[in-house]
Structure 1
Amino acid sequence: MIFLNVAVLAVGFIALVKGADIFVDGSSALARIFKIPSLIIGLTIVALGTSMPELAVSTSAALAGSNEIALSNVVGSNIFNLLVVLGLCAVIHPVPVDSLILKRDFPISIFSTLGIFLAVTFPAFLNGSFFTLRMDADAGTVSRTLGIIILVLFIAYIVYLIFDARKNPLPEEETGGEKLLPLWKCILFIVLGLFLIIAGGKAVVYSAQNIARFLGMTETLIGLTVVAIGTSLPELVTSIVAARKGETALAVGNVLGSNIFNLLFILGVSAAIHPVSVNIASVYDMAVLIFISVLSWIFSITKRRIGRIEGIIMLLFYGAESVFAIMR
Structure 2
Amino acid sequence: MDTLLNIGLIVISAALLWKGAELIVDSAAAIARRWGISELVIGLTIVAAGTSAPEFLVTVTAAYQGLPAIALSNVLGSNIFNLGLILGLVAMIRPIPTHPTLLYRDGGLLLGLTIAIMTMIYLDILGRWSGMILLGGLVGYTTLLFVRAPKEIARIAMDSGTQAGEGTSGENGQEKKVAWRTYLLLLTGFIGVALGGRIMVQAATELALVLGVSQWTIGVTIVAAGTSLPELATCLAASLKGRNDMILGNLLGSDIFNFAGVLGLTMLLRPLHAPENALLSMLLLNAMMLLVLLFIRSNWGISRTEGALLICMALARWGVDISGA
TM-score, normalised by the number of residues in structure 1? 0.91
Cα deviations by residue, 1:154-176 (Å, 9 ceiling, x for unpaired): 11111111111134334354663
What residue in structure 1 maps to residue 50 of structure 2? Answer: 49
Residues 31-50 of structure 1 aligned to structure 2 (within 5 Å): 31-50=32-51
Q: Is the 8 A contact 1:33 1:175 kept in 2?
A: no
- Partners of 2:276 and 2:6 in 1: how far apart? 33
- Match of 1:247, as an amino acid? R
Residues 223-262 of structure 1 aligned to structure 2 (within 5 Å): 223-262=219-258
Cα distance, 1:286 vs structure 2: 0.9
**Range that drifts further, 21-30 or 109-118:** 109-118
Q: Is the 8 A contact 1:109 1:260 kept in 2?
A: yes
What residue in structure 2 maps to residue 144 of structure 1? Answer: 128
Identical counterparts, % of pairs: 35
What residue in structure 1 maps to residue 21 of structure 2? Answer: 20
Cα distance, 1:219 vs structure 2: 2.9
**Range that drifts further, 297-306 or 58-67:** 58-67
Cα deviations by residue, 1:177-221 (Å, 9 ceiling, x for unpaired): 487971012102101111111111111111111121234333332
Cα distance, 1:232 vs structure 2: 0.5
Q: CA RMSD of the aligned region, Å?
A: 1.6
Cα deviations by residue, 1:59-104 (Å, 9 ceiling, x for unpaired): 1122223222111111110010001111011011100113201110
What residue in structure 2 maps to residue 169 of structure 1? Answer: 153
Q: Is the 8 A contact 1:141 1:278 kept in 2?
A: no
**Range that drifts further, 81-90 or 216-225:** 216-225
Residues 38-117 of structure 1 aligned to structure 2 (within 5 Å): 38-117=39-118
- Match of 1:210, as an amino acid? E
What residue in structure 1 maps to residue 267 of structure 2? Answer: 271
What stretches of structure 1 move > 6 A for 4+ residues in a row?
178-181
Compared with structure 1, are the counterparts of its residues 85 and 174 closer, same or farther at alpha carbon in structure 2 (3 Å cutoff)? farther
Cα distance, 1:17 vs structure 2: 0.6
* SS of match in other structure, 2:125: strand
Compared with structure 1, are the counterparts of its residues 119 and 11 closer, same or farther at alpha carbon in structure 2 (3 Å cutoff)? closer
Residue 185, structure 1, aligned to residue 175, structure 2: no
- Match of 1:235, as an amino acid? E
- Partners of 1:143 and 1:177 in 2: how far apart? 47
Compared with structure 1, are the counterparts of its residues 160 and 246 closer, same or farther at alpha carbon in structure 2 (3 Å cutoff)? same
**Range that drifts further, 63-72 or 216-225:** 216-225
Cα deviations by residue, 1:242-291 (Å, 9 ceiling, x for unpaired): 01100010010000000000011111111111111012200111111111
Q: Is the 8 A contact 2:69 2:215 kept in 1?
A: no
Residue 157, structure 1, aligned to residue 153, structure 2: no
Which ranges in structure 1 are unaligned for 5 or more consecutive residues?
A: 123-139
* SS of match in other structure, 2:120: helix
**Range that drifts further, 215-224 or 15-24:** 215-224
* SS of match in other structure, 1:239: helix
Q: Is the 8 A contact 1:21 1:238 kept in 2?
A: yes
Q: Is the 8 A contact 2:43 2:249 kept in 1?
A: yes
- Partners of 1:210 and 1:119 in 2: how far apart? 31
Q: Is the 8 A contact 1:20 1:238 kept in 2?
A: yes
**Range that drifts further, 215-224 or 16-25:** 215-224
Q: Is the 8 A contact 1:65 1:274 kept in 2?
A: no
- Partners of 1:265 and 1:272 in 2: how far apart? 10
Residues 289-308 of structure 1 aligned to structure 2 (within 5 Å): 289-308=285-304
**Range that drifts further, 43-52 or 308-317:** 308-317
TM-score, normalised by the number of residues in structure 2? 0.92
* SS of match in other structure, 1:73: helix
- Partners of 2:5 and 2:27 in 1: how far apart? 33
- Match of 1:154, as an amino acid? L
What residue in structure 2 maps to residue 132 of structure 1? Answer: none
* SS of match in other structure, 1:36: coil
* SS of match in other structure, 2:148: helix
- Partners of 1:233 and 1:175 in 2: how far apart? 34
- Partners of 1:218 and 1:112 in 2: how far apart? 27
Aligned residues: 311
* SS of match in other structure, 1:246: coil
